[in-house]
Amino acid sequence: MLNSLSISETEETGRVSERFRRIRFRDIIRGVPWIPVTILVIFLVCGLFGSFITPHDPLKTDLRAVKKPPFFQQAGDMKYLLGTDAIGRDILSRIITGAGVSLQVGFAVVVFAGALGALVALLSAYLGGWVDTILMRITDMFLSMPYLIILIALAAVLGPSKNNVILIMAVLGWAGYARVLRSEVLRIKNADFIKLAIVARAGKARIMFQHIFPNIINTLVVLATLQLGNVIIMESSLSFLGLGVPPPEPAWGSMVADGRIIMNTAWWVSTWPGIAIMLVVLSSNLLGDWLRLRLDPKFRQL
Amino acid sequence: MINYILRRLIQAAICLFGISIIVFLLSHLSGDPALLMAPPEAKPEDIQALRVVLGLDKPLYVQFWMFISKAVQGDFGQSIRWGKPCLELWLMRFPNTLLLGGAAMAFTFVVGIPTGILSAVKAGRWFDNFGKAFALAGQSMPVFWVGLMLMLLFAVALGWLPTSGMGTWQHLLMPAFTLGWYFTAAITRMSRSAMLDVLDSEYIKMARIKGLPEYVVILKHGFRNAMIPIVTLAALNIVTLLNGTVITETVFNWPGIGLLIVNSIFARDYPMVQTCVLIASALFIFTNLIVDVLYAYIDPRIKYQ
Amino acid sequence: MISNDNILVVQDLKTYFYTSRGVVKAVDGVSFELKKGETLGLVGESGCGKSITCFSIIRLVPPPAGHIVGGKVLLHGEDLLIKSEKEMTRIRGSRITMILQDPMMSLNPLFTIGEQIAEPIRYHQKLGKLEVWEKVKEMLRLVHIPSPEVRMGEYPHQMSGGMRQRISGAMTLSCQPEILIADEPTTALDVTIQAQFLSLLKEIQQKVNLSMIVVTHDFGIVARICDRVAVMYAGKIVESAETRELFNNPAHPYTVALLNSLPKMEEKVDKLYSIEGQPPELHALPPGCSFAPRCPQVKEICLRDFPSQKEITLDHYASCWLHG
Query: What count of Cα atoms within 13 Å lies in the side-chain half-sphere of residue B23?
Result: 30
Q: Using 50, 70 and 90 to split pLDDT, how confident is the model at A144?
A: confident
Residue of C nearest to B299 (CA): C110
Whole domain around residue A157: which residue ranges? Answer: 32-301
The per-residue pLDDT for C39 is 92
Give per-residue pLDDT as tens, C175-231. 889 999 999 888 888 888 888 888 888 888 888 888 999 998 888 888 888 999 999
* Whether C108 contacts C116, CB under 8 Å: yes
* Whether B116 contacts B192, CB under 8 Å: yes
* DSSP β-ladder status, C316-318 and C39-43: unpaired
The rounded distance, in Å, linking the Cα atoms of A245 and A239 is: 6
Query: Rounded to the nearest 10 degrees, how much is the dihedral formed by the CA atoms of A190, A196, A200, A205?
Result: -40
Q: How far A204 CA sits from the closest chain B CA (Å)? A: 30
Helix (H, G, I), strand (E, B) or coil at A184: helix
Top-ranked range on mean pLDDT: pick from A24-28, A255-259, C64-68, C304-308: A255-259
Beta-sheet strands, E only, within C184-304? 211-216, 228-233, 236-242
The rounded distance, in Å, linking the Cα atoms of B105 and B184 is: 8
Chain A residues whose CB is inside 8 A of the B288 CB are 144
Q: How far C218 CA sits from the closest chain B CA (Å)? A: 22
Question: What rounded mean pLDDT belongs to chain A?
Answer: 79
What angle separates helix A91-122 from helix A213-241, to the nearest 10 degrees?
140
Let me know if residue A17 belongs to a domain.
no
Chain A residues whose CB is inside 8 A of the C276 CB are 5-9
Give per-residue pLDDT as tens, C133-188. 988 988 888 888 888 888 888 888 888 888 888 888 888 888 889 999 999 888 88
B300–C92 C-beta distance less than 8 A? no
Q: Does the beta carbon of C20 lie under 8 angstroms from any beta carbon of chain A? A: no
Q: Is the pLDDT of residue A7 over 50?
A: no
The per-residue pLDDT for B181 is 85
Q: What mean pLDDT is predicted for residues A256-262?
A: 88
The rounded distance, in Å, linking the Cα atoms of C219 and C233 is: 15
**What part of C 255-274 touches A (C-beta under 8 Å)?**
256-257, 260, 269, 271, 273-274
The per-residue pLDDT for C272 is 67
C215, β-bridge pairs: C42, C183
Q: What mean pLDDT is predicted for residues A157-185?
A: 86
Q: What mean pLDDT is predicted for residues C290-295?
A: 81
Q: How far C277 CA sits from the closest chain A CA (Å)? A: 7
Let me know if residue A16 belongs to a domain.
no
| Sheet of strand C236-242: strand arrangement | C96-99, C179-183, C211-216, C39-43, C228-233, C236-242, C316-318, C310-313
Give per-residue pLDDT as tens, C63-74. 777 888 888 888
The per-residue pLDDT for A114 is 92
Of C102, C157, C172, the CB nearest to B210: C172
Q: Using 50, 70 and 90 to split pLDDT, how confident is the model at B31?
A: low
Give per-residue pLDDT as tens, A27-53. 555 677 888 888 888 888 888 887 787
Residue of A nearest to B247 (CA): A237
C102–B211 C-beta distance less than 8 A? no
The per-residue pLDDT for C41 is 92
The per-residue pLDDT for A1 is 30
Q: What mean pLDDT is predicted for residues B75-89?
A: 77
Partners of chain A (3+ Cβ pairs below 8 A): B, C
Q: How far A20 CA sits from the closest chain B CA (Å)? A: 23
Of C256, C271, C278, the CB nearest to A7: C271
What is the number of domains present in chain A? 1
Reduced DSSP (H G I as helix, E B as strand, rest coil) percent helix, strand, coil of chain B, to 5: 80, 0, 20
Chain B residues whose CB is inside 8 A of the C91 CB are 211
Residue of B nearest to C102 (CA): B202
The per-residue pLDDT for A279 is 92
Q: What mean pLDDT is predicted for residues B113-123?
A: 86
The per-residue pLDDT for A6 is 27
Q: Is the pLDDT of residue A263 over 90?
A: no
Q: Provide the residue type at C226 as one letter.
A: C
CA-nearest of B200, B201, B191, B184 to B229 is B191
pLDDT top residue among A271 and A12: A271
Let me know if residue A232 belongs to a domain.
yes
Q: Is the pLDDT of residue B223 over 50?
A: yes
Let me know if residue A111 belongs to a domain.
yes
Q: Using 50, 70 and 90 to split pLDDT, how confident is the model at A110?
A: very high
Q: How far B289 CA sits from the closest chain C CA (Å)? A: 21
Let me know if residue A8 belongs to a domain.
no
The per-residue pLDDT for B150 is 87
Let me know if residue A268 belongs to a domain.
yes
Give per-residue pLDDT as tens, C71-97. 888 888 888 888 888 888 888 888 899
A9–C269 C-beta distance less than 8 A? no
Partners of chain B (3+ Cβ pairs below 8 A): A, C
pLDDT top residue among A43 and A26: A43
Query: What count of Cα atoms within 13 Å lies in the side-chain half-sphere of residue B165?
Result: 6
Of B124, B202, B221, the CB nearest to C105: B202
Q: Provide the residue type at A43 as one letter.
A: F
**What part of B 241-300 touches C (C-beta under 8 Å)?**
298-300
Q: Is the pLDDT of residue A70 over 60?
A: yes
Q: How far is CA B213 from the centre of its chain?
A: 40
Chain C residues within 8 Å of chain B (Cβ atoms): 58, 60, 64, 89-94, 97-98, 100, 102, 105-110, 119-120, 123-124, 155, 157, 168, 171-172, 175
Q: How far C276 CA sits from the closest chain A CA (Å)? A: 4
Let me know if residue A18 belongs to a domain.
no
Q: How far C9 CA sits from the closest chain A CA (Å)? A: 36
Q: What mean pLDDT is predicted for residues C244-273?
A: 79
Q: Is the pLDDT of residue A17 over 80?
A: no
A253–B144 C-beta distance less than 8 A? yes
Burial of B210 (0-12, 13-18, 19+ CB in 10 A): buried
Q: How far C2 CA sits from the closest chain A CA (Å)? A: 35
CATH code of the domain in which A268 resides: 1.10.3720.10
Question: What rounded mean pLDDT belongs to chain B?
Answer: 80
CA-nearest of B240, B138, B184, B140 to A281 is B140
CA-nearest of C105, C27, C121 to C66 is C27
pLDDT top residue among A300 and B268: B268
Q: Which residues contact B71 (CB under 8 A, 6 or more apart)?
A: B20, B278
Let me know if residue A13 belongs to a domain.
no
Q: Using 50, 70 and 90 to split pLDDT, how confident is the model at B30?
A: low
The per-residue pLDDT for A5 is 27
Please state, for a pLDDT cut of 70, what percent of chain A lies above it.
88
The per-residue pLDDT for A2 is 30
Of A140, A156, A285, the CB nearest to B265: A156
B140–A285 C-beta distance less than 8 A? yes
The per-residue pLDDT for A18 is 36
* Whether B245 contacts B256, CB under 8 Å: yes
* Whether A198 contacts A206, CB under 8 Å: no
Q: Does the beta carbon of B139 lie under 8 angstroms from any beta carbon of chain A? A: yes
Does the ipTM surpass 0.90?
no
Write the DSSP assignment of C211-242 as a string of letters. Answer: EEEEEES-HHHHHHH-SEEEEEETTEEEEEEE
pTM beyond cutoff 0.80: no
The rounded distance, in Å, linking the Cα atoms of C168 and C185 is: 10
CB pairs under 8 A between A and B: 134
Give per-residue pLDDT as tens, A186-237. 888 777 777 787 788 777 777 777 777 888 888 888 889 888 988 999 999 9
The per-residue pLDDT for A107 is 92
A301–B197 C-beta distance less than 8 A? yes
Helix (H, G, I), strand (E, B) or coil at C311: strand
The per-residue pLDDT for A231 is 92
Residue of C nearest to B221 (CA): C108
Least confident of A181-195, B33-47, C101-115, C247-261: B33-47
A153–B261 C-beta distance less than 8 A? yes
B261–A256 C-beta distance less than 8 A? no
